[in-house]
Each structure stands twice: as structure tokens, then as C-alpha cells.
Structure 1
């Protein structure tokens, strides 16, 4: 068996409990979840999800959508008539 290393991390207690509850429902321990994450990082040679800082334009667009300032299109025909 390969040697093991111990990793200690600090997280907020509430976050740890929320994560533990979610993982319990999946039948996975926190330790196993971290091992799975490490395996994915190793296999993909990077984080297994996109990490980006949104552009100013994207931030502005998100705010407009969330505040209801954008027009909803019901179908392609009405979209094309607006263009």
C-alpha cells in the first residue's frame, strides 16, 4: 500500500455541516469526496470545473437579467420580428 499523507484544512463549521449533510445523502464521506476531487484534478490536469472572473459586460448582462430589465422572447418568430 502506498504511503498516505494527511491534509488539514480550515472551513466554516456551518459550511462543513452543510457539506456533510449533502454527502451523507450521497453515501460519501467528506474524506472520500476530497479523494474523488483530487483524482479528478489529477486526471484532468486542472480543476474539474471552470474558474473564471466574469467580464464587465457579462456582469452587467447578469444584473440586467436578474433585475428584469431584459425582454423575454416567447418564440423564434417574435424574436425575428424584433431584430
Structure 2
């Protein structure tokens, strides 16, 4: 795609600096972020969802998900998850009303 269009915008220097720090953490330049924004606006015919730096819980989940671990079946995955839950030394049982009741 030919990148000859030019976009100029005046912005508060503090906002610009803070945004550049965040974009740097995401591995993006300001120009790349603007190109992403413009492409998403066109694709969605409106503003895209907000992009954020993942918090510690999200990062842990991403790292766990990309560990390369695979399962032969859904049952094997469930057995693994249930086994990890049981090692926490308690089980949550759902009553008929849908409320969680802890058993130790």
C-alpha cells in the first residue's frame, strides 16, 4: 500500500509524551499507532475498541496459554483443571439455586 498521505495534528506535549511511552511498551511507533487507528476506523466504520497494556493477571494467562501445552481431548483439559482446583484444598459446589458453597 502506498503511504503518501500525511496527517498532522496538534496535541498537548504531555499527552504526546505519555502516549509515546505507552506505545513504546506495546512495541509501536506513533505513526504505526495512527495507521492502525485509521485502518480500524475504516474496517469498523467507527472507532475501534480501546487497546491497553495487559495487567499482571492477563499477562500470566497469556503466558500460560502460550506454554505450548496441548491436550488430546477436552476431557484431559478438564481433568487437569479439576486436579489443580483440588490442590487448592477446597472445592466449590453449586447448590440447586446456583449459589456456590465451599466445602473444605
TM-score range, shorter chain: 0.5 to 0.7
1:9 maps to: 9
TM-score (norm 2): 0.44
**Structure exhibiting the larger radius of gyration computed from Cα positions:** 2
Q: Please give the root-mean-square deviation of Cα atoms over the aligned residues, in Å.
A: 2.2
Aligned structure 1 segments of 4 or more residues deviating by more than 3 angstroms: none
Query: Can you give the 5+ residue segments of structure 1 that lack an aligned partner in the other structure?
Result: 50-76, 78-83
Q: Secondary structure at the match of 2:42?
A: helix
Q: Secondary structure at the match of 1:28?
A: coil
Query: Can you give the 5+ residue segments of structure 2 that lack an aligned partner in the other structure?
Result: 50-98, 100-104
Q: Which structure is higher in strand share? A: 2
Task: Give the number of aligned pairs.
Answer: 52
TM-score (norm 1): 0.55
CA separation of 1:25 and 1:5: change in aligned 2, threshold 3 A: same
Post-superposition offset of 1:15: 0.3
* Distance (Å, rounded) in 2 between the aligned partners of 1:39 and 1:14: 26
After TM superposition, the structure 1 = structure 2 runs for residues 45-56 of structure 1, keeping only pairs within 5 Å, are: 45-49=45-49
